[in-house]
Structure 1
């Protein structure tokens, strides 16, 4: 089984992160509306994610296979190439983000059963579900929280 490496992202990783974000969303979450162009995705990561978040990336076979982005006590992004699902990439990225945090919150879509199972296995507890009126996609979502023991 090929190994992967983790490291903090740099600005030079940003285009690959934006591309992987779009790829995973369209592949694994086909029910979500496609609200932005690839150029808008890149601008979002450039202007909002990279300046304010701790971003970790996973690489294997000389390419990006996953990333996580967190700010303060929020995990805003955790995306893994579907070819690498179930191989420890998401868990490793989540562990890197949790290292110095006593608490971590996140939102995921209610229909994303795979993510919900993953977070629950990682010790996250459901806080609340919503009708989606507060998110851009207008899709029902779920707030989860993890607190260090």
Structure 2
């Protein structure tokens, strides 16, 4: 039952998309249904994988969490609900913080668990929006972290 953290590959993208969707629907149920599972897989494979380093945490061959980041940005950080509170998200976040001297990320204003997580890890809210510029039309908040 050892936790393995590793850089993910193309073969891992369907599982990464499933983690993303499961965590998203659990924490943000009012936003469910925007994309199909196929669209999620295409996004992870065609958009995130070419642009980001993608790391994952797995136990017993099951992917539990993903972190897609690039220079100065965390694009996606999701942990399966049943794996939250075990330090997995913190471990993945530390990989991005070790690779980048400064990081930005967006999260939704109503996602209070994510906001508390990022604030515990030194991120500071620098901007709030009404959500008009995101596809969900959900008010969001921009966070910044500096080493």
Say whether the fold is shared (TM-score over 0.5). yes
Name the residue aligned to 2:99.
100
Name the residue aligned to 1:70.
69
Q: Which runs of 4+ in 1 moved over 2 A?
A: none
Secondary structure (helix, strand or coil) at the match of 2:86 reads coil
Q: Give the Cα separation in 2 of the matches to 1:31 and 1:112.
A: 11
Alignment of 1:1-149 (within 5 A): 2-148=1-147
Q: Following TM superposition, by how much is the alpha carbon of 1:3 offset from its aligned partner in structure 2, in angstroms?
A: 3.6
Contact kept, 8 Å, 1:56 with 1:97, in 2: the verdict is no
Q: Give the Cα separation in 1 of the matches to 2:70 and 2:111.
A: 22
Taking structure 1 as the reference length, what is the TM-score of the superposition?
0.96
Q: Give the Cα separation in 2 of the matches to 1:12 and 1:93.
A: 19
Secondary structure (helix, strand or coil) at the match of 2:89 reads helix
Contact kept, 8 Å, 1:33 with 1:137, in 2: the verdict is no
Give the CA RMSD over aligned residues.
0.9
Q: Following TM superposition, by how much is the alpha carbon of 1:12 offset from its aligned partner in structure 2, in angstroms?
A: 0.7
Give aligned pairs, total.
147
Taking structure 2 as the reference length, what is the TM-score of the superposition?
0.97
1:113-132 CA distance string (max 9 Å, x none): 00000000000001011000
Unaligned 5+ runs, structure 2 = none
